[in-house]
A and B are shown apart, each in its own frame.
Chain A
Amino acid sequence: MTRPMRTPFRTLLAVVLGILTLAAAPVLAQSGPPRIVIGPGVIEPMPIAVPTFVDEGGAGDYARQITRVVISDLEGTGFFRTIGEDAHISRITSFDGGIAFEDWKAINAQVLVTGAVSVAGDRITVKFRAYDVFNGQVLDGAALQFAGTTQGWRRMAHKVADVVYSKITGEGGYFDSRVVFVSESGPKNARAKRLAVMDYDGANVQYLTDSSAIVLAPRFSPTGDRILYTSYETGFPRITLMDVGSLRRQTLEEQPGTMTFAPRFSPDGQTVVFSLERGGNTDIYALSLGGGGLRQLTNSPSIETAPSFSPDGSQIVFESDRTGTPQIYIMPASGGEGTRISGGEGRYGTPVWSPRGDYIAFTKQNAGRFHIGVMRTDGSEERLLTASFLDEGPTWAPNGRVLMFTRETAGAGGQTSLWSVDITGRNLKQIPTEGPASDPAWSPLLP
């Protein structure tokens, strides 16, 4: 077994300090601040300039690498186009030096991101400002400094990009986040699976288990410090809780003759909802991690599975085949019959409540194709975002505006891979992974 590396969750202490900016009289902008509104319709990527961050001492390659990651994050959203450095008229050689905004206007950059990096020992400091090129003002709040260990340099780049993205779109960021997933190898009829975690963009992969037992569908806790998943380690499918820091794991429910799977945390991290199968019948249960015992939430001869809490913890969306085909229902967190919300043709599964509460993402199977889609919590405004031989298992980015999911190709050589798409159906792309990968689950935004 490869010894998994410790994750940087707790080892990096990111210190966020606002940099003092010169008090300036407000300049009346002739047009509003640079703004992208994420919604339906075509969005022309906003041209921006991100010149290589200034090396303020000992930064070496870090300044170049951090700039590259900031650009990759922003361009990866599909909302930004960075203007190549060979087209720049001015150079940024000093973080606090004067800026010739006319030069950036001339190349049509709407936003200019400047930054500087310094390294002392294993400590790294990254600071940046994002300017509205038109009026030469720093975008409100987009002037920050991050400090931590050099090991966390990518996280600092992600934090820079998160602030820039957030200021321009008005949405929360999502780049400084991790994704837990199942790394796959081997042929289709004997596939080996192991848990792994990576940055949202596929970097920094670390393995959390070996492949001696089948593992399925991991989920992060609301604080990202624990993972729930289904493991065959005991011989039977069992929901398992892992501490990300120590990699210690424990099986949660071990009633003989039952099978447990599809676990997910409540928003306060204190309760686990999951499916328990007994005598062939699958219902939804809740287990209090504080020792409050097991509660049965559904009681029906049909299959009830894939439960997911609303962000306020008051409701649970789940999947049931009580009408003959799998459909999506919502019930109170205390349990009950539930109200069906899916209404279209086909089969609906794996509902996941958006962290913003506004949408439910799902897998839809219809006419021999699989889709990832979103609908309002009352089932209205259903929108299919993807279509392929097999797309399944969406997970929300922390800002509730992007989804990641599993795509599997057909046939004997079929392989899984991870993809992301935004909730308008734009920007469908594959996440780079070392090998086949499935069952992604996004962490919250890291602290």
Chain B
Amino acid sequence: MSLAAKSLLLVAALALAACNNPDRYGAGGAGGAGGAGGMGGAGIDTTGLGDPNNPTSIAYFNQRVGDRVLFAVDQSTLSPEARQILTAQAQWLNQNPGYAAIIEGHADEQGTREYNLALGARRAAAVQNFLISQGVAASRMRTISYGKERPIEVCSEEACYAKNRRAVTVLSAGAGV
């Protein structure tokens, strides 16, 4: 990699880090409402969700394209359904270059804290790699794992666990690219 490219990457990374603290769960968790992306809250620049009928809005991405994919127990393999959603995510991201993405990996509560952190990272990376393979620039994305720290469903049954084993693509405007 050339020095210039490295510098660009570094600048992009710094921009992401500086403008967009990905921990939207700061201050005790602002993300209780289903973990929908771009909810504002502590530690993140506020981004307008926009109208879900506007195909270039974050709301459209979250609701129409689908911001998340689910995983089997202990797995980070992308299911056919997940690939379908991610293909649509990649198309949208390629058509809307003014957005950057944090990809969050999560695990269900059945596992130790440390292992689940690593597992969440694997899931987030699987999503990122797929999006890269579909032409989304790596410099527009970062990954983060929450392990089992931020379930969206709170029951202790498979119905909830299945929704908690997820990777969520959280968009923000202005950063990256």
Interchain CB contact (< 8 A) of A261 among B26, B29, B76, B117? B117
Cβ proximity bits B115-129 to A, threshold 8 Å, 1 near / 0 not? 101110111111011
Say whether A349 faces chain B, with CB atoms less than 8 Å apart. yes
Say whether B51 faces chain A, with CB atoms less than 8 Å apart. no
Say whether A101 faces chain B, with CB atoms less than 8 Å apart. no
Cβ proximity bits A391-421 to B, threshold 8 Å, 1 near / 0 not? 0110000000000000010111010000000
Which of B17-25, B62-70, B80-88 lies on the face that meets chain A?
Answer: B17-25
Say whether A36 faces chain B, with CB atoms less than 8 Å apart. no
Which of A120-128, A277-285, A288-296, A331-339 lies on the face that meets chain B?
Answer: A277-285
Whether B25 and A214, one on each chain, are in contact in the complex, defined by CB atoms closer than 8 angstroms, is yes
Interchain nearest-CB distance for A281 vs B (Å): 8
Whether B17 and A414, one on each chain, are in contact in the complex, defined by CB atoms closer than 8 angstroms, is no
Whether B121 and A349, one on each chain, are in contact in the complex, defined by CB atoms closer than 8 angstroms, is no
Say whether A306 faces chain B, with CB atoms less than 8 Å apart. yes
Q: Which residue of A lies closest to B151 (CB)?
A: A189
Q: Which residue, of A280, A350, A410, has the highest number of chain B Cβ atoms within 10 A?
A: A280
Contacts of A389 in B (CB 8 A): 156
Interchain CB contact (< 8 A) of A350 among B114, B149, B155? B114
Cα–Cα distance between A279 and B124 once the two chains are bound (Å): 9
Contacts of A237 in B (CB 8 A): 117, 144-145
Interchain nearest-CB distance for A290 vs B (Å): 26
Whether B149 and A191, one on each chain, are in contact in the complex, defined by CB atoms closer than 8 angstroms, is yes
Interchain nearest-CB distance for A255 vs B (Å): 10
Which of B53-61, B91-99, B105-113, B168-176 lies on the face that meets chain A?
Answer: B105-113
Say whether B32 faces chain A, with CB atoms less than 8 Å apart. yes
Cα–Cα distance between A212 and B10 once the two chains are bound (Å): 27
**Contact A190 to B31, CB < 8 A, known contacts A275-B118, A280-B126, A392-B113:** yes
Whether A212 and B27, one on each chain, are in contact in the complex, defined by CB atoms closer than 8 angstroms, is yes
Interchain CB contact (< 8 A) of B76 among A189, A217, A280, A439? A280
Contacts of A262 in B (CB 8 A): 114, 117
Whether B32 and A189, one on each chain, are in contact in the complex, defined by CB atoms closer than 8 angstroms, is yes
Q: Which residue of B lies closest to A230 (CB)?
A: B117
Say whether B42 faces chain A, with CB atoms less than 8 Å apart. yes
Contacts of B142 in A (CB 8 A): 257
Cβ proximity bits A188-203 to B, threshold 8 Å, 1 near / 0 not? 1111100000000000
Cβ proximity bits B1-33 to A, threshold 8 Å, 1 near / 0 not? 000000000100110010001110111111110
Whether A393 and B112, one on each chain, are in contact in the complex, defined by CB atoms closer than 8 angstroms, is yes
Say whether A213 faces chain B, with CB atoms less than 8 Å apart. yes
Say whether B152 faces chain A, with CB atoms less than 8 Å apart. yes
Whether B145 and A277, one on each chain, are in contact in the complex, defined by CB atoms closer than 8 angstroms, is yes
Whether B22 and A235, one on each chain, are in contact in the complex, defined by CB atoms closer than 8 angstroms, is yes
**Contact A306 to B145, CB < 8 A, known contacts A188-B151, A235-B22, A414-B156:** no
Contacts of B152 in A (CB 8 A): 189
Contacts of B31 in A (CB 8 A): 189-190
Cβ proximity bits B32-58 to A, threshold 8 Å, 1 near / 0 not? 100000000011000000000000000
Q: Give the dominant DSSP class at B's interface.
A: loop
Interchain CB contact (< 8 A) of A411 among B115, B145, B155? B155
Contacts of B149 in A (CB 8 A): 191, 214, 216
Q: Which residue of A lies closest to B9 (CB)?
A: A256
Interchain nearest-CB distance for A209 vs B (Å): 13
Say whether B140 faces chain A, with CB atoms less than 8 Å apart. no
Whether A213 and B29, one on each chain, are in contact in the complex, defined by CB atoms closer than 8 angstroms, is no
Q: Which residue, of B22, B29, B30, B155, has the highest number of chain A Cβ atoms within 10 A?
A: B29
Q: Which residue of B lies closest to A318 (CB)?
A: B114
Interchain nearest-CB distance for A348 vs B (Å): 9
Interchain nearest-CB distance for A236 vs B (Å): 6
Cα–Cα distance between A408 and B74 once the two chains are bound (Å): 20
Whether A305 and B17, one on each chain, are in contact in the complex, defined by CB atoms closer than 8 angstroms, is no
Cα–Cα distance between A363 and B113 once the two chains are bound (Å): 11
**Contact A259 to B114, CB < 8 A, known contacts A192-B28, A211-B27:** no
Known A235-B144, A349-B114; further 5 A-B contacts with Cβ < 8 A: A189-B32, A214-B149, A257-B143, A280-B129, A392-B112
By a beta-carbon cutoff of 8 Å, the part of chain B in contact with chain A is 10, 13-14, 17, 21-23, 25-32, 42-43, 74, 76, 109-115, 117-119, 121-126, 128-129, 142-146, 149-156
A-B pairs with beta carbons under 8 Å apart, 30 shown: A189-B150, A189-B154, A190-B29, A190-B30, A190-B31, A191-B149, A192-B27, A192-B28, A232-B23, A234-B21, A235-B22, A235-B43, A236-B144, A237-B117, A256-B17, A259-B143, A259-B144, A262-B117, A275-B117, A275-B118, A277-B118, A280-B128, A321-B74, A321-B115, A325-B74, A326-B115, A350-B112, A390-B109, A392-B112, A393-B112
